[in-house]
Structures are given as structure tokens and as C-alpha cells.
Amino acid sequence: MSRIHPASALKERVHHQLEDVHAPPSVLTVWKRSSMSFQGTDGFTVFDDRGILSFRVDNYSRKNCCVRGGLVLMDGAGRALLTLKPQMLSLQVQWNAYRGEDGYGKNPKSSRVFTMKSGSNLFGSRNKSEAAEVFMGGPSSNSTPDFRIEGCFGRRNCKIRDRSGELVATVSRKRVNNSVLLENDVFSLVVQPGFDLELIMGFVMVLDRICGKTFTPILCS
């Protein structure tokens, strides 16, 4: 798995397809459970289409991890890739992503990979189909989102599109043998070729928080 690059390089990378336009999409199975097996843990365990562990998120408490250390996305071997931290701004929910484990140091803006903002406020959504907006490197005044998330993540039915409207990834309920529909704690993440899996998985982590129980009636109506 490639490492997270500085935000400027990553922004350029995610908007270009691979030379092999015939490459198949990456299909990940996301299990909404920490790989830590003891009671009270919360996180994600993510497998590729061969059943190999690709990503993990191990957090001991949903409440404490949001308030203190943030969420840390790791690869299958436990190497920290991204740290995500929440920030309340007026009536919107915002999360910032940084490289590595708590890697923003003394200059958070220079190491920020992306910012995701909720697409709704307490008085209703600007666009009811829009769950969130993503700004690579962080938003600036009147900046256009680099990615938009449409649909309802809470129901495992959403799409991620880039600024041109091109489909980047989809989240959907997981089916076994194309027939048995699994519960919401196991779902499919399909990422189109040419887009960074680490980045998209970071989006999924934030969506899980902003479409949590507190905000579900607003964001996932």
C-alpha cells in the first residue's frame, strides 16, 4: 500500500486515472469492528477481494477517541497512515485529516491532507442528497469541494464523486453469493481505478462519525 503523500501531491494524484484504463475497481469489505477482540473496542477491519487485511482502525472508546487522540487509520501491519480529528464549526461538523499518527506537529495546515464538512446544518441540508464535502488540503474562501458524498452512509447507500462529477467510490450493503444481504456492520466499498484507497477509507471513517446516532436524523434522512 502506498504511503500518504503531502496534500498537494495527493490532490494531483487522486484526480488522474491510472494508465491502464482497463484496470478493475478495488473491492473492499469493511467490517465495522475493531481487530481488537476485547469488549468495548470500536473501529474498522478492512479486507481486499482476496481476504487480505488492508486497513484497520483500533479505538478503545468511541467517545474518548473523538475527544482526545482522534481516529488513526492503519495499514494491515499497524503502520499509521492518517489521523482524523473532529472540529465543531457553527452548525456544521468538520473533520481534518493529517499524515501519520497525530502527525500535524507545530504547523497543522502544512500537514493537513483533507478537510471534510457535513453537507447539512441544523435547519436542513443545502442538498438533501449530499452528506458531505471534501476539500483537499483544507478549504479556502469560496473554494469548490474536491469531492462530494451523496446519499446516506448510515444506510450504506452512498456515492463519492470528484469535482467533475466522476464516480470515485460507492458504499453499499454487502451481499454473500449475490443473494444474502448482510447487516450494516459489514459493507462493500468499491473504489474506481486511479484513486487512492487510503484517502477513500479516510472519507469512510469520517462519514461513520458524522452519520452517527447524534446526526443521523439530519444527515441521513
Task: Look up the domain containing 84 and give its range.
Answer: 7-219
User: Per the domain annotation, does 113 fall within a domain?
Assistant: yes
Task: State the alpha helices, DSSP H only, in the chain.
Answer: 7-14, 62-67, 108-111, 197-210, 216-219
Mean pLDDT (the chain) is 76
Q: Is residue 2 part of a domain?
A: no
The reply to whether 1 falls in a domain is: no
Domain assignment of residue 86, yes or no: yes
Where residue 135 sits, what CATH number does that domain have?
2.40.160.200
| pLDDT digit string, tens, across residues 53-100 | 999 998 755 544 444 557 899 999 999 999 999 886 656 688 999 988
Q: How many domains in the chain?
A: 1
Residue 71 lies in a domain: yes
pLDDT tens-digit series, residues 201-210: 999 999 998 8
Q: How far is CA 55 from CA 74, 83, 121, in A?
A: 6, 13, 31
How does pLDDT run along the chain (221 residues), one tens digit per residue? 443 344 444 444 444 444 455 789 999 999 987 665 545 557 899 999 999 999 999 875 554 444 455 789 999 999 999 999 988 665 668 899 998 876 555 555 667 899 999 875 433 444 456 789 999 987 776 789 999 999 999 899 999 999 999 999 999 999 887 777 778 889 999 999 999 999 999 999 999 988 754 433 334 43
Here the cell at position 202 is: 479516510
Q: Is the pTM of this model over 0.75?
A: yes
